Chains A and B, each alone.
Chain A
Amino acid sequence: MLLDPRSKMIMVICISSLALIYNTPARLLQLLLVTLVLLFIFSFNLRVIAGYLKPFVFLMFFLFVVQSIFSPGDRVILALGPVSLISIEGVLAGATVVLRLLVITAAAMLFTTFSSRDFILGLVQWKVPYEIAFMVSTALRFLPLFRDELKNVLTAIQLRGVDLKKVPWGKKMVMYRRLTFPVVYRNMLKAEQLAIAMEARAFRAYPQRTYLRQLNLQRVDYVVILLSLLVTFILIMRYIG
């Protein structure tokens, strides 16, 4: 569906706000379903969604376990002698945290349905100064690329014959410590080099700038924006009230 990126940004903000306010697994589950349906409408298939969420699985599981154990509750499921380990309340609290994270990451996927250049356009057309829009979008875009970089370095190290899985922990820590500085420094160099490249192509030559493309809010965008805001408002009111 061809929606203006700004409409999608509003939707993401609405869904995330709801996710932060809702505090029961049932509500969050409903919200997750709605989000998935939205993603489906924006022609995501399940495989892409799963691939996108995969890196977070471990984190979520970890959070779930930690939350389950450390949230106190009366209805004990698993106890170690006199110490209660897991209670129903704990499990529910764990589920809440994980579902909340799922909803937010799923909603954030809507950002991937338009290019970062459209994101900049959206912000600029809402009167955000273009320098700031570029800064924000570049930062957002380079987070995943930073991960790629790290992977590249780890690959390079292994290709030189170091089996990271087999190196004992003590030795590994020593190696990582020695590599930290060059790896961090190289990313600084790269960031600086990119800033130079932008400047070399006349970035910030003038206080204004024009754009190849133009974003136009269509009637459907106004409808989507208004509807999202209204529904979110009503839901929040009902939940609180």
Chain B
Amino acid sequence: MESCNEAVVVQALTYQYHASGPFILRDIGFRIDRGEVVVITGLSGCGKSTLCLCISGLIHHHRNGVISGKIILNGKDTRGMRGPALALEVGMVFQDPDTQLFSPAVEDEIAFAPENLCLPPEQIQERVNNVIDTLGLAALRHANPYYLSGGEKHLVALAAVLALDPPVLILDEVLSQLDSLGKKRVIATLEILRDKGKTIIAVEHNLEALAFADRFMVLEAGKLIRFDRTEKILADQDFLMTRRLV
């Protein structure tokens, strides 16, 4: 493995859900350094979730999709990598809280990833406890995820991915359904993760919510129209207005 400082490199990425369908992503290219926090934003339907699925390699499950371009994660070309192997490089919390939980109890849901990593039971227990503490899920520990409220589900989904402990973490609009305490907890957790050198990519509409991010990426109709330092973008009211982001 070549040593490199770039966690995610995307080159000339183009995507269609169907060969005869519209281009959802058009010629997207960017680099994200290890330990960076990047926010992806843009109008609904502009391709944010699709881009996240591409980066995490899960887009291959859409069998009719047509993809071209290159995605390099932690120095490894993801083409031809098997799904579970990709999961060791990148973890993703999906936008829909309902379709990513499948265990009979919150604790099992969180233990699922470390179990797959073949950790010894004591270490699994430790990870589960840590994650439950940081996200304040103690009261839900034995609850059935299927019967949780929307926000609780998202929090559990995040917990389950944190237990996987991947070097790159993608969150697709996870803050929106959380209450203010949950938002605070998640943001604090993200800051800790960043300090540990994790790379974080978060999709978010509320520009102020993740103002601690290093850079903002703005998509419009499948194109990357701007990728710039947070201060610069947030200060550029003209840009935000004309792009209808505020």
Contacts and interface: CB of A to CB of B under 8 A. Distances in A.
A30 interface: no
A201 B56 contact: no
Contact of A212 (B92, B101, B121, B164): B121
Nearest to B142: A115
Contacts of A198: 102, 112
Contact of A210 (B83, B87, B99, B121): B121
Interface string A191-212: 0111111111111111011111
Contact of A204 (B105, B116, B120): B116
Interface residues on chain A, size class: 20 to 34
B118 A208 contact: yes
Nearest to B121: A212
Contacts of B237: none
A225 B83 CA distance: 41
Given A115-B105, A201-B161, A202-B113, A196 B118 contact: no
Given A202-B113, A210-B119, A117 B105 contact: yes
Contact of B108 (A190, A196, A210, A212): A212
Contacts of B117: 202, 205-206
Interface in A181-240: 190, 192-206, 208-214
Contacts of A209: 115-116, 118
Given A115-B105, A117-B103, A212-B108, A199 B120 contact: no
Contacts of B84: 199, 202-205
B67 interface: no
Contacts of B92: 200
Given A205-B87, A205-B88, A211-B121, A199 B58 contact: yes
A205 B85 contact: yes
B164 A202 contact: yes
Nearest to A117: B108
Contact of B104 (A115, A194, A199, A214): A115
A200 B58 contact: yes
A116 interface: yes
A194 B157 CA distance: 12
A45 interface: no
B146 interface: yes
A211 B115 contact: yes
A141 to B, nearest CB: 7
Nearest to B163: A201
Nearest to A213: B121
Contacts of B114: 212
B128 interface: yes
Interface in A53-95: none
Given A145-B146, A204-B84, A212 B124 contact: yes
Nearest to A194: B102
A193 B172 CA distance: 15
B177 interface: no
B17 to A, nearest CB: 13
B100 interface: yes
Nearest to A208: B118
A204 B116 CA distance: 7
Contacts of B100: 193-194, 197, 200
A155 interface: no
Contacts of A138: 102
B202 interface: no
B104 A117 contact: yes
Contact of A192 (B61, B128, B146): B61
B160 interface: yes
B174 interface: no
B124 to A, nearest CB: 5
B50 to A, nearest CB: 14
Contacts of B115: 209-212
B121 A200 contact: no
Given A209-B115, A212-B108, A197 B102 contact: yes
Query: When A and B form their complex, which 6 residue pairs have the shortest distance between CB atoms, in order from nearest?
Result: A205-B84, A202-B87, A197-B100, A193-B99, A212-B111, A202-B116
Given A193-B99, A212-B111, 18 more contacts: A115-B104, A117-B105, A117-B108, A192-B61, A197-B102, A199-B84, A200-B56, A200-B58, A201-B161, A202-B117, A202-B164, A204-B116, A205-B84, A205-B85, A205-B88, A208-B118, A209-B115, A213-B121
16 contacts: A117-B103, A117-B108, A190-B99, A194-B100, A195-B61, A196-B61, A197-B102, A199-B83, A201-B113, A201-B164, A203-B112, A205-B87, A206-B116, A206-B118, A212-B121, A212-B128
